[in-house]
């Protein structure tokens, strides 16, 4: 039993975040999981088209997913800059886009992404795409969003395999040791918690109700509120960003942004419902 417990608690040490590398360039599990998540979302939505659950073409589906993915990357990066470490990036503006460490010149990739910023970016790019192609933005979001949590599941597992975004310190036996943790203490495997809450649970829920939208925009509204609730819960186990710590009322930045997200969802819900009966 002790051998199994030790194996479990040191599991993150047994995972090599790199699948292969060539020189200073490498391909890791984190990137692989992002590709797996994107592919899963595409295949699920393609299935919806085959079942005649959507009013766009397969070509339009590919275009909007790629377009919104770009928006999510841009928004996620800018969101991290503005929400999580603005003072650093004001002093080092090149670090916003540079994949190299500014002091050593070593290739480190673009580190630091904000989910909430990525969501804003994806929605903005989705609005642009809808207007450009004369599509109904609300119908598009109601069609796409039920599959999105499946992508999050892979993304959070990627966080775990990459040994990042680990949890707060715990004395529970199911805590784990993470190689990037300088304190070398047991921590909640919060990435797994979030994969379950934000990924698995939300996917099951939204996939089940995907064809039950009472009015346009209702899926988006419920998505914003439900993700905000799952993220708010998950943040109680996740280690806050070192440069921020806990903020107002002992809440993390992720929880504060999730509260804003929840109220945005409520606003959209009442607005679209009222719009549907006028």
Q: Which residues contact 10 (CB under 8 A, 6 or more apart)?
A: 176, 177
- Rg over alpha carbons for the chain, rounded to the nearest Å, is 20
**Which residues neighbour 214 within 8 Å (Cβ) at sequence distance 6 or greater?**
273, 276
Give the residue from 150, 227, 162, 238 showing the smallest Cα distance to 193: 238
How many CB atoms are located within 10 Å of the residue 211 CB?
Answer: 11
pLDDT tens, residue order, the chain (278 aa): 678 999 999 999 999 888 777 766 667 888 899 899 999 999 999 999 999 998 899 999 999 999 999 999 999 999 999 999 999 899 888 888 876 666 666 656 667 889 999 999 999 999 999 999 999 999 999 999 999 999 999 999 999 998 889 999 999 999 999 999 999 999 999 999 999 999 999 999 999 999 988 889 999 999 999 999 999 999 999 999 989 999 999 999 999 999 999 999 999 999 998 887 65
Please calculate the CA angle 183-185-110 and round it to the nearest 5 degrees. 60
Strand partners, 265: none
- 252: how many CB neighbours lie within 10 A of its CB? 21
Question: Buried b / exposed e across 56-76, counting CB within 10 Å, b at 16+?
Answer: beeebbeebbebbbebbbbbb
Q: Which two tokens stand for residue 96?
A: 């916003």
Q: Is 83 exposed, middle or buried (CB count within 10 Å of its CB: 0-12, 13-18, 19+)? A: middle
CA–CA distances in Å: residue 52 to residues 46, 137, 202, 227: 10, 18, 23, 27
Strands 18-22 and 25-28: antiparallel
Q: Which of 178, 180, 161 is nearest to 33 (CA)?
A: 161
Q: Residue 159: which of 13, 6, 31 has the closest Cα?
A: 31
């Amino acid at each position: 039993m002790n051998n199994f417990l030790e194996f479990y608690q040191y599991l993150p040490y047994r995972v090599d975040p790199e699948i292969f590398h060539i020189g200073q360039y490498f391909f890791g599990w984190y990137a692989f999981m992002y590709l797996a998540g994107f592919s899963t979302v595409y295949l699920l939505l393609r299935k919806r088209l085959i079942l005649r659950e959507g009013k766009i073409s397969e070509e339009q589906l590919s275009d909007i997913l790629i377009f919104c993915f770009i928006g999510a990357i841009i928004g996620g990066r800018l969101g991290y800059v503005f929400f999580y470490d603005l003072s650093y990036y004001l002093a080092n503006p090149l670090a916003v886009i540079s994949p190299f460490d500014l002091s050593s010149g070593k290739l480190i990739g673009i580190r630091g992404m904000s989910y909430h910023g990525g969501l804003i970016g994806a929605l903005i790019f989705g609005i642009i795409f809808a207007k450009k192609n004369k599509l109904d933005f609300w119908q598009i979001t109601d069609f796409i969003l039920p599959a999105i949590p499946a992508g999050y599941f892979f993304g959070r597992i990627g966080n775990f395999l990459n040994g990042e975004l680990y949890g707060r310190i715990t004395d529970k036996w199911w805590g784990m040791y993470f190689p990037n943790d300088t304190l070398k203490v047991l921590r909640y495997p919060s990435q797994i918690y979030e994969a379950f809450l934000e990924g698995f649970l939300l996917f099951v829920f939204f996939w089940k109700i995907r064809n039950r939208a009472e009015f346009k925009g209702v899926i988006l509204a419920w998505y914003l509120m439900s993700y905000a609730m799952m993220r708010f819960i998950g943040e109680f186990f996740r280690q806050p960003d070192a440069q921020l710590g806990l903020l107002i009322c002992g809440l993390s930045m992720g929880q504060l942004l999730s509260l804003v997200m929840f109220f945005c969802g409520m606003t959209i819900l009442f607005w679209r419902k009222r719009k549907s009966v006028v």
